[in-house]
Amino acid sequence: MAVIFDRPKSLADVPTHYCPGCTHGIIHRLIAEVIDEMGIEGDTIGICPVGCAVMAYDYFNCDMIEAAHGRAPATATGVKRSLPDKFVFTYQGDGDCAAIGTAETVHAATRGENIVVIFVNNAIYGMTGGQMAPTSLPGQVTQTTPYGRDVSVAGNPIKMVEMLSVLDGVALAQRVAVNTVPHIREAKKAIRKAFENQKAKRGFSIIEVLSSCPTNWGVSPTEALEKIDEVMIPFYPLGAYKDVTAEGAN
Amino acid sequence: MERNLMKGNEALAEAAIRAGCKCFFGYPITPQTEVAAYLAKYMPKNDGVFIQAESEIAAINMVLGAASAGVRAMTSSSSPGISLKSEGVSYIAGSDLPCVIINVQRGGPGLGGIQPSQSDYWQATKALGHGDYQLLVYAPCSVQEMVDKVTLAFDMADKFRMPAMILADGLLGQMMEPVTFPERKTEFEPKPWAANGHGNKRKHNIINSLYLVPEELENSIRNRYERYEIIKANHTEAESYLCDDADFVVTAYGASARVAKSAVNRARAMGIKAGLFRPITLWPFPVNEINEACKNAKALLDVEMSMGQMIEDVKLAINCSKPVHFFGRTGGVIPSPDEVLGELKKLSEANK
Ligand SMILES: Cc1ncc(C[n+]2csc(CCOP(=O)(O)OP(=O)(O)O)c2C)c(N)n1
Ligand code: SF4
Ligand SMILES: [Mg+2]
């Protein structure tokens, strides 16, 4: 019988610890598909964050490194500068990439480090049980904003790809989502483009993926996917904010 | 062999290149700046990588990445910057990665000062970052020793898969002395554990310090401590100077040992039987060597450029079997040979 759907080779055949309905799994799969399609598993080094994806080193079959919270872009810099012909990607949550590790992210970007950053924005600290993230929406109720995020107290959410798009070292800064089939297809294309940029030595590529956290948002998995359309995308519009391969990025 | 007159910091940097250091990541801070400046100039000419990172935190995590990739990597800083690196050093130790860290100490706490100091002894030997782990800590006391210990630090770090530190100070860093360098190292032990792309030839490698099952974490730490025991048993280093018949043994390391040595020579000239015991490895502390050195001593005098940190290891090493006195200057003040001699005279009087 013809196999029409299978596990990507570079994704390990092991159970993950992600909650049911969490879209971390979809994002893993897209990265693995791209690695397989480009035939680069043996030449890729992945770097995990501290966050729900901390154990991604067990899920990808390429060589993997577990970085300190927020430091993945610096660690990736060390790997890439040592092995300029290998592919290096980081996989980071919003707390990791946009709070504790903002400096590492911004400076890896502005240096034009030839790496791929997969930035999983679920607007919450998933791993530690649902505290406010730098990307939590105004009014969002979290464990540390029990009355809703009051921007006059807790500050405003950070828009990473918009911010990074002004930096010269950046080749691609794009926001995608994985809550619907068309969005997933777009996300896959963006991730592929990011890895192709690395192959062509174009510099820093960041793909911000709007992701769900049904557990800490306190909704069902399907409602979580709907929320991405209803509240996340209006605040965090999808699209390529910078793409050196395209004319007229939006 | 060719001898060069060089500053401690520059000699150390050249030694790192000769030891096969492929990547240097740093952030400017006085008084280690010459290390970075030298490497910025010569790393690119030696097929190496130099990056001025956005912070010491980034620099040490770049080191973590390069070490994971299997190459020799180094960072250097001075006291406040080392504090920032402590998180990364803990991860490096927990991931069993080799690297070399230079601390050209200055006075603290806080921003402290920029003059030479030895007040990071505790930080280096006991508590650089969280968790159960140790660093190899070398304390050179001459420009030549800066070179020799950097070379050794890279080899030992690789051999035992752990971070190694050169604990220098602003005085050694700025001092000029003639040095000879070893040949450039070109052959390295393979690192089959490195995350450098498996090339579809082996199972994937994972560099990691996370163990969620307590027994597994305990095992990983116990394994590391077994290696520490081998190092303690075989790799301590110290210098004993005129200790055999000494009534009074001065204990000092690094720059303060240079001061102490002049004081010891002057004491001898006055008929006071003084000696100097100088630990070269601060971790592991040379326990057997110090006991041997002070076996005939009536008392010890610990001299440091701090309020007294190594003195605790001295007392522990000799099991408090003899009185250990202390003389220190801190905050960037360098003790003078006169002051140390004065202390020796007092001891000699008191023990008549
Ligand atoms: C230095 C440090 N501070 C805090 C933590 C605790 N911590 C672990 S994960 C995390 C937040 C993770 O959130 P995010 O990056 O958004 O990833 P997610 O779990 O949502 O995927 C925090 C604060 C830590 N491990 N290390
Ligand atoms: S806590 Fe949230 S982000 Fe983490 S695995 Fe569960 S659903 Fe996913
Ligand atoms: Mg998050």
Contacts of A77 in chain B (CB under 8 A): 51, 58, 62, 65
Dihedrals φ, ψ of B277, to 5°?
A: -110, 120
User: Does some domain include residue A97?
Assistant: yes
Residues with CB under 5 A from ligand 3 (ion): A 93-94, 122, 133
Contacts of B22 in chain A (CB under 8 A): 82
Q: Specify the CATH number for the domain of residue A107.
A: 3.40.50.970
pLDDT on residue A250: 46
Q: Which domain holds residue A199?
A: 24-248
Burial zone of A148 (CB within 10 Å; 0-12 exposed, 13-18 middle, 19+ buried): middle
pLDDT on residue A120: 98
Pairwise CB contact (< 8 Å): B64 & A67: yes
Contacts of A54 in chain B (CB under 8 A): 210
User: Does some domain include residue A220?
Assistant: yes
pLDDT on residue A1: 79
Give the sign of the dihedral formed by CA A120, CA A142, CA A100, CA B208: negative
How far apart are alpha carbons B231 and B228 in whole angstroms?
5
pLDDT higher than threshold 90 for residue A247: no
User: Does some domain include residue A14?
Assistant: no
How far apart are alpha carbons A23 and A228 in whole angstroms?
11
How far apart are alpha carbons B293 and B113 in whole angstroms?
35
Q: Which of A64, A28, A33 is nearest to B204 (CA)?
A: A64
Reported as a pLDDT band with limits 50, 70 and 90, residue A122 is very high
User: Does some domain include residue A183?
Assistant: yes
% pLDDT > 70, chain A: 98
How far apart are alpha carbons B239 and B261 in whole angstroms?
11
Segment A79-92 mean pLDDT: 98
User: Does some domain include residue A17?
Assistant: no
pTM of the entire predicted model = 0.97
Cα A173 to middle of ligand 2, angstroms? 24
% pLDDT > 90, chain A: 96
Give the sign of the dihedral formed by CA A3, CA A8, CA A13, CA A17: negative
CB A246 within 8 A of CB A240: yes
Pairwise CB contact (< 8 Å): A42 & B200: yes
**How many structural domains is chain A composed of?**
1
Q: What is the DSSP letter of A244?
A: T
Mutate to test the interface with A, among B23, B47, B64, B89 (most CBs of A within 10 A): B64
Residue type, A175: R
ipTM of model: 0.97
How far apart are alpha carbons B9 and B246 in whole angstroms?
34
pLDDT on residue A2: 87
pLDDT higher than threshold 60 for residue A237: yes
Q: Which of B56, B99, B29, B74 is nearest to A103 (CA)?
A: B56
Number of CB atoms found within 10 A of residue B222's CB: 10
Closest Cα to atom 8, ligand 2: which residue? A22
pLDDT on residue B1: 67
User: Does some domain include residue A161?
Assistant: yes
| Ligand with minimal distance to A217 CA | 2
B208: distance to nearest CA of chain A, Å?
A: 5
Pairing state between β B73-77 and B49-52: unpaired
Q: Which of B82, B46, B261, B107 is nearest to B163 (CA)?
A: B82
Give the sign of the dihedral formed by CA A196, CA A198, CA A204, CA A205: positive
Please list the ranges in chain B whose pLDDT falls under 70.
1
Number of CB atoms found within 10 A of residue A141's CB: 15
User: Does some domain include residue A3?
Assistant: no
User: Does some domain include residue A234?
Assistant: yes
Domains in chain B (CATH in brackets) are 4-234 (3.40.50.970), 239-350 (3.40.50.920)
